[in-house]
Amino acid sequence: MTIVTAIGLPIATDVVDVVALGESMVTFLPSRPGRLADVPSFDRAIGGAESNVVCMLAAAGHSTRWVGRVGADGFGDHLVESIGAYGVDVESVRRDPGRPTGIYFRTAGDRATDAHEVAYYRAGSAASAMAVGNTDLDAVRAGRVLHLSGITAALSEDCLDLVRELTAPGAGRPLVSFDVNHRPGLWRDAEGPRVLLELARGADIVFVGDDEAREAWGLHGARAIRQALPEPGIVVVKQGGHGATVLGRDTGGARRDATEAATFEPALNVDVVAAVGAGDAFAAGFLSATLRRLPVRDRLRHGHLMAAAALTAPGDLATPPARDHADRLAALDDTAWGTLRLGPGWTEADTRAEEEVRTP
């Protein structure tokens, strides 16, 4: 039996918590700072907006599944094995014998700077061939939450048709979480912003950065974004290092109208190692707290804590804090939350302290 909560979140014991569909790639991280032309070697890792979310959710104790398409090559093997090692179900990942697994290289610097470089090798990738007819839609829909992003929609016309199919209303549709992830360089024409707005309006939970809303839609501020997205139950506007705002029917039972209540929560003070993956981590923290039916403030705080874990690690993925550790931090009063500062290794500090207490 499936029960539906006020925001449409199904409760069932025979489904996974979160399913994500999208492209994952093998990433190559530089061994030292500098231009790509000057870096002598790279360390191999994995990355992908949607798989990042379910990997962090799995590490935080949730049941998850990733559905994607990779090449029948060594890089595809590495992706499937690495994502599966997080505890993510990868049984529905398809292998494509005629197309390669996508890869990319990046520099060590913050991508917000002019010196940052990323070299993608994803054109014609196996993931770009995902389509309604070659994807296990039953596996995709068999979760309490289905997490998607605008990146998948930009990969090909078939991928866009697939995302449209999954965001279309229908009986038995899971709660759809959609991260706008506006990537202008991926779109084949100028229709990207319009398509992203269409897809976001079909979702139940939407994550969007205020900067990308300005760039894609010319919108300024959380209220303007909400007015452009009246259909989703929850809209989460990420405001970078400033914080994040939630507007929606689930912000304390307020009716959704022009005076709808907004919940803002400031971001944490973080000693940043690398800015990549923070948005995906924030979505994972927010969804984790949503699955646990925590108050909206705590959902935002868990998002910030997961983002802090990613910001203080070098790759796209990081070890999240233990749940009880995160719960204690999320329960801090406003003053303590505002003065909290987190640096590299903070997610493991609680575990190390417990081990030291147990060591005679």
Alpha helices in the chain (DSSP H): 49-59, 74-85, 137-141, 150-155, 157-167, 192-201, 210-217, 222-228, 278-291, 296-311, 323-330, 334-339, 346-358
Residue 133, phi-psi category: left (phi > 0), alpha (psi -120 to 50), beta (remainder): alpha
Q: Which amino acid is at 312?
A: T
Q: What is the C-alpha to C-alpha distance for residues 352 and 186, in angstroms, rounded to an integer?
A: 43
Q: Cite the active site residues.
A: 280
Contact (Cβ atoms closer than 8 angstroms) between residue 268 and residue 240: no
The answer to whether 145 and 284 are in contact (CB under 8 A) is: no
* One-character DSSP codes across 186-217: G-SSTTHHHHHHHHHHT-SEEEEEHHHHHHHH
Query: Distance between CA atoms of 109 and 286, rounded to whole angstroms?
Result: 27
DSSP-based three-state secondary structure for 139: helix
Q: Are strands 16-21 and 64-67 parallel, antiparallel or unpaired?
A: parallel
How far is 150 from 210, CA to CA, in rounded Å? 15
Residue with tokens 């990308």: 212
Give the C-alpha separation, 146 to 340, whole Å: 33
Q: CA torsion sign, 96 to 97 to 99 to 105? A: positive
Give Cβ neighbours of residue 346 (< 8 Å, ≥ 6 apart): 308, 309, 312, 321
Tokens of 62: 């949730």
